[in-house]
Amino acid sequence: MDQDRPRVETGRVLWSDGMDLLQDAAERKHLLPTGLEGIDTLLGGGLRKGQLTELTGQSSSGKTQACLYSAAHVAARHMGAVLYLDTSNSFSPSRIARILDELPISFIKEPKDVRLKRVMSSIICESVFDIFALFEVLNQLEVSLNNKVNNGGKKICLLIIDSISSLLAPIIGGKYSQGRSMMISVAMILKKLADKHNLSVLVTNHMVAGNGAPKPALGESWKAVPHIRLMISRDRGSNICTATILKHTLLASGRHMKFAVPG
Amino acid sequence: MTGDAGCGPREWLAVDETAADFLSRSLSTRPPILLPPPLHRAPLRPGNVVEIAGPSNSGKSQLLLMAAVQCILPKEWEGVYFGGLGKAVMYIDLDCRFDVLRLAQILRKRITHGCGSAHPPSEDFEKDVSKDKFHSFQDTLFSDCMKRFLYVRCYNSSELIATLKSLNSQSEARSKVFGIGIYFLLLDSIGAFYWIDRAPQPTTESKGTTISFQSITENVVQEIRKFLQLQPVLVLVTKAPTYGEGITASNDFQRGSSKYMLDDSTASRYSKREEEKNSSCREYMPSAWQTLVTHRIKLQDLAQEAGFSSEQDNNVLSVHTSEWVHPPLNTKEKFYIKDDGVGFIQ
């Protein structure tokens, strides 16, 4: 009988009550602005730390732009370091420089090149091309976050994975269940990192053809993973994008807002 | 037993208690619980296990939060009637998607609503003293209620089993400190680790035994039963469906056959999709779990069923339906989710 019982971990089980959770939310789980007004207004301020946000949309609808804007704004406002995991070589330092140039005058407190250097050193960009490399990077991140207690260097506060669906879509589906189990394992690791180390995680997803309208990729099992799911669409031939809430822990789904992505 | 051989049989035949005594004892120790709609149709008592099943975004976690708020609010507080149960709630989060701000939002709206109906707002707002007292009264009540909400997260099955093993000692410790016992046990998403546990894993045990989803679920069921024996609580569990491996096969079928059905009305295409969904999301929990569950309710999101439309109005409330599967009631009731919780459509 004992052979069937799984090994119980010897860590202590931590219970917290409602007031502890509220205090933690107020003190630690702040909002990170993305820099795109429409998304920030829709989300009530920005991406929340401790939560996993998914941006889904068709190709060239503005998902990578939104990721670059978030990275630039979070780094520029001294909120912490950004880890940008890039699966398709879409990270562009020149685009970050142009985004910084668009910042309003009130933010300029130092010369442009100094700020550019500081922002670039706060964004850590790594290329990940398959799921195993992703596991490796996330493990390294967890180890370094566990060990770094109060280092002088900047603590990572935003983790962007652009796009996670290109890593996960090839492995799910088919006869074997390993692909789906890897997807759920990645999801659990991301949520654990977000909550324990106070990160905000932003992932992007692409869309596939469904019965009629296109739907987000990665299927039904992924739907239960992110805290917040947003859909971005771009009006043809213009710079105006629309962001729609598909799922949110606090707000009603269906709310949408238009915003402009310059350049 | 051998010592009582002389008076044994007579005592054994003597009546312990009458049926009336039994019923009154049972009703007093395990009184019926009235939950907010749509969970109010079936009679529930502590010791029951209710499974709330439904696809993503159908309102399952919202129902759990409504039940939690109902439990942590007191029946009456300084003259204001709230109609709650005034007991503690334990919430085990396996999905790790709980948002404490949503719970706080629902609780605050309930408290304001209760206070507002008891003390109608007075016309002269210069009475700052009474207004401050009003706010501090609400804040004390709010913090008292939030302290009765206990929360824990589990990131894998072994943590879940460890948590379940420690439930009894935790609840005893808390009731000693606060004087209030646990009345509800909420579990968000029992199938959260289904795919992780199903995949064959390399084990570190020397005998090479694999830990299967079946044995994990049997352990979970055993721990819950043990806890229910020591402390009868109402257990509410949400369950998301799992779509089987054959989902790509059934999609191909749909695409192939739709070529020949161009003139079909939307009604038949709709029912075909629903049929396909029903056949591909099968019951994945082992029979041990199914015997533990005493009540089942199924939720659906009407907007999703009709197909996703991106041109929705900002003010349209999404309507959800609920259907009691066990005990089978054969009626679908509608409800919608708004800021202060769940609203029931009669």
d(CA A45, CA A33): 6
Q: What is the pLDDT of residue B90?
A: 92
Residue A2 binned pLDDT confidence (cut-offs 50, 70, 90) = very low
pLDDT the model gives residue B244: 60
Restricting to B residues 241-260, those with a Cβ less than 8 Å away from any Cβ of A are: 241-243, 245, 247-248, 254
What residues contact residue B30 under an 8 Å CB cut-off, 6+ apart? Answer: B45, B46, B47, B232
pLDDT tens digits, one per residue of B60-93: 888 899 999 989 998 888 888 888 888 899 999 9
B151 to chain A nearest CA, in Å?
5
> Residue B260 has what pLDDT?
42
Restricting to B residues 66-105, those with a Cβ less than 8 Å away from any Cβ of A are 72, 90, 95-97, 99-105
Provide the pLDDT for residue B129. 60
CB-based contact B308 A173, cutoff 8 Å:
no
Residues of B whose CB is below 8 A from A254: 303, 312-314, 316, 318
ω into A163 cis (within 30 of 0): yes
* Phi, psi dihedral angles at A244 (to 5 degrees): -120, 140
**pLDDT of A79 strictly over 90:** no
**CA distance linking residue B46 with residue B275, whole number of Å:** 36
Q: With beta carbons under 8 A apart, name residues in chain A contacting B149.
A: 17-18
Which chain A residues contact residue B210 at CB under 8 A? Answer: none
CB B110 within 8 A of CB B341: yes
Cis peptide before B38 (omega within 30 of 0): yes
Q: Which residues of B4-31 are buried (b: 16+ CB within 10 A; e: fewer)?
A: eeeeeeeeeeeeeeeeeeeeeeeeeeee
Q: Count CB atoms within 10 A of the CB of residue A177.
A: 18
Partners of residue B310 in chain A, C-beta under 8 Å: 213, 231, 233, 244, 256
- HEC-encoded secondary structure of chain A: CHHHCCCCCCCCCCCEEHHHHHHHHHHCCCEECCCCHHHHHHCCCCEECCCEEEEEECCCCCHHHHHHHHHHHHHHCCCCEEEEEECCCCCCHHHHHHHHHCCCHHHCCCCHHHHHHHHHHHEEEEECCCHHHHHHHHHHHHHHHHHCCCCCCCCEEEEEEECHHHHHCCCCCCCCCHHHHHHHHHHHHHHHHHHHCCCEEEEEECEEECCCCEEECCHHHHHCCCCEEEEEEECCCCCEEEEEEEECCCCCCCCEEEEECCC
Interchain contact B175–A (C-beta under 8 A): no
CA-CA distance, A44 to A250, in Å (whole number)? 10
Higher-confidence residue of A5 and A88: namely A88
Confidence at residue B321, expressed as pLDDT on a 0 to 100 scale: 83
Q: Which residues of B touch A17 (CB under 8 A)?
A: 146-151
Q: For A6-51, how does the pLDDT look when each residue is reduced to its tens digit (9 = 90+)? A: 434 345 678 888 888 899 888 888 899 888 888 888 888 899 999 9
Could you tell me which residues come within 8 angstroms of residue B169 by beta carbon, excluding any fewer than 6 positions away? none
- Residue B5, both tokens: 């051989």
Distances (CA, A) of B109 to B73, B114, B147, B342: 12, 8, 17, 12
Q: List, for residues B102-130, the tens digit of each pLDDT value.
A: 999 999 888 888 887 766 655 454 455 66
Do the chains contact at A253 and B148, CB–CB below 8 Å?
no
Say yes or no: B28 contacts chain A, CB-CB below 8 A.
Answer: no
Q: Are B341 and B114 in contact (CB under 8 A)?
A: no
Where do the H-state alpha helices sit in chain B?
Answer: 8-13, 19-29, 60-72, 100-118, 128-147, 157-178, 194-198, 213-230, 247-258, 266-280, 287-292, 302-305
**Residue A226 contacts residue A203 (beta carbons within 8 Å):** yes
Mutate to test the interface with A, among B57, B62, B87, B96 (most CBs of A within 10 A): B96
Taking an 8 Å cut-off on Cβ atoms, the answer to whether B162 and A9 are in contact is: yes
Find tokens 């609840």 and name the residue: B171
Write the residue in B57, B254, B310 that is nearest to A211 by C-beta. Answer: B254
Q: Which residues of B are less than 8 Å from A250 in CB distance?
A: 99, 101-102, 105
Q: Which residues pair with B236 in a beta bridge?
A: B50, B186
- Could you report the per-residue pLDDT of A155-214, keeping only the tens digit for each? 899 999 988 989 998 888 777 778 888 999 999 999 999 998 989 999 999 998 877 888
For A240, counting Cβ atoms within 10 Å of its Cβ (0-12 exposed, 13-18 middle, 19+ buried), the class is: middle
Low-confidence ranges of chain B (pLDDT < 50): 1, 123, 125-126, 206, 245-280, 307-315
* Nearest partner of A15 among B224, B175, B149, B191, judged by Cα: B149
* pLDDT reported for residue A263: 61
Using a CB–CB cutoff of 8 Å, tell me whether B156 touches chain A.
yes
Using an 8 Å CB-CB cutoff, list chain A residues near B316: 254
* Residues contacting residue A86 through CB under 8 Å, at least 6 positions apart: A125, A126, A127, A128, A162
- CB-CB: which of A51, A247, A250 is closest to B57? A247
Distance CA A159, CA A144 (A): 14
Contact A17 B149 (CB under 8 A): yes
Of the candidates B260, B173, B100, B187, the residue with the CA atom closest to the CA atom of residue A27: B100
Shortest alpha-carbon distance between residue B80 and chain A (Å): 22
Q: What is the pTM of this model?
A: 0.83
Quote the pLDDT of residue A86: 92
